[in-house]
């Protein structure tokens, strides 16, 4: 994997474009798409961590826009794919109940809170030795939760 920089950005995508890339990979819903998304996040956002500005950049050029909301794609990926909380983005059923379907190609665990239209959802999962996930979900009282 080459280092992400302004000189190599054309070989992948800009942080701004990664929001759309990650959205498409989430919808593709395959192990290969998940692995590609996680690798992309490591490559693009790892470069930002190596040159800390405290912001997410629009492009690999830190002399350009260094504060760009659309470059926050990994935050959406973490909530909707890694933690797996459905937010009704592509399925209106997800607005009537909380559907949790976590996935990861190479993480051993994940934990976080996600704001859902029905309330805050807490997800904590760990990969067991057999590869399955042990998933714990805390959701608002009285709301139906489905773990897939």
CATH (domain of 144)? 2.60.420.10
Identify the pLDDT of residue 2. Answer: 59
d(CA 92, CA 94) in angstroms, rounded, equals 5
pLDDT in tens, 120-143: 999 999 999 998 999 999 999 999
Confidence of residue 53 (pLDDT cuts 50, 70, 90): confident
99 and 148 fall within a common domain: yes
pLDDT in tens, 7-21: 777 777 888 888 899
* Host domain of residue 32: 1-77
Helix (H), strand (E), coil (C) string for 42-95: HHHHHHHHHCCCCCCCCCCCCCCCCCCHHHHHHHHHHHHHHCCECCCCCCHHHH
Q: How many domains does the chain have?
A: 2
68 and 98 fall within a common domain: no
112 and 138 fall within a common domain: yes
Question: For the chain, what percent of residues have pLDDT higher than 70?
Answer: 97
DSSP 8-state class, residue 14: -
7 and 71 fall within a common domain: yes
Identify the pLDDT of residue 70. Answer: 76
| DSSP β-ladder status, 98-100 and 145-147 | parallel
| pTM score of the predicted model | 0.82
60 and 90 fall within a common domain: no
140 and 118 fall within a common domain: yes
64 and 116 fall within a common domain: no
118 and 148 fall within a common domain: yes
pLDDT in tens, 29-49: 888 999 999 998 988 888 888
The last residue of one of the domains, among 77, 96, 125, is: 77
Looking at residues 59-70, what average pLDDT do you find? Answer: 77
- Check whether 52 has a pLDDT greater than 50: yes
């Amino acid at each position: 994997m080459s280092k992400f920089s302004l000189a190599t950005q054309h070989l992948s995508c800009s942080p701004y474009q990664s929001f759309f890339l990650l959205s498409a990979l989430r919808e593709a819903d395959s192990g290969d798409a998940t692995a590609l998304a996680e690798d992309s996040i490591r490559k693009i956002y790892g470069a930002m961590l190596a040159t800390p500005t405290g912001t997410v950049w629009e492009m690999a050029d830190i002399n350009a826009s260094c504060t760009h909301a659309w470059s926050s794609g990994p935050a959406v990926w973490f909530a909707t794919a890694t933690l797996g909380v459905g937010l009704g983005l592509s399925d209106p059923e997800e607005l009537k109940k909380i559907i949790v379907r976590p996935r990861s190609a190479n993480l051993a665990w994940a934990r976080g809170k996600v704001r859902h239209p029905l309330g805050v959802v807490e997800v904590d999962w760990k990969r067991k030795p057999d590869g399955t996930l042990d998933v714990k979900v805390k959701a608002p009282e009285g709301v139906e939760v489905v773990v897939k």
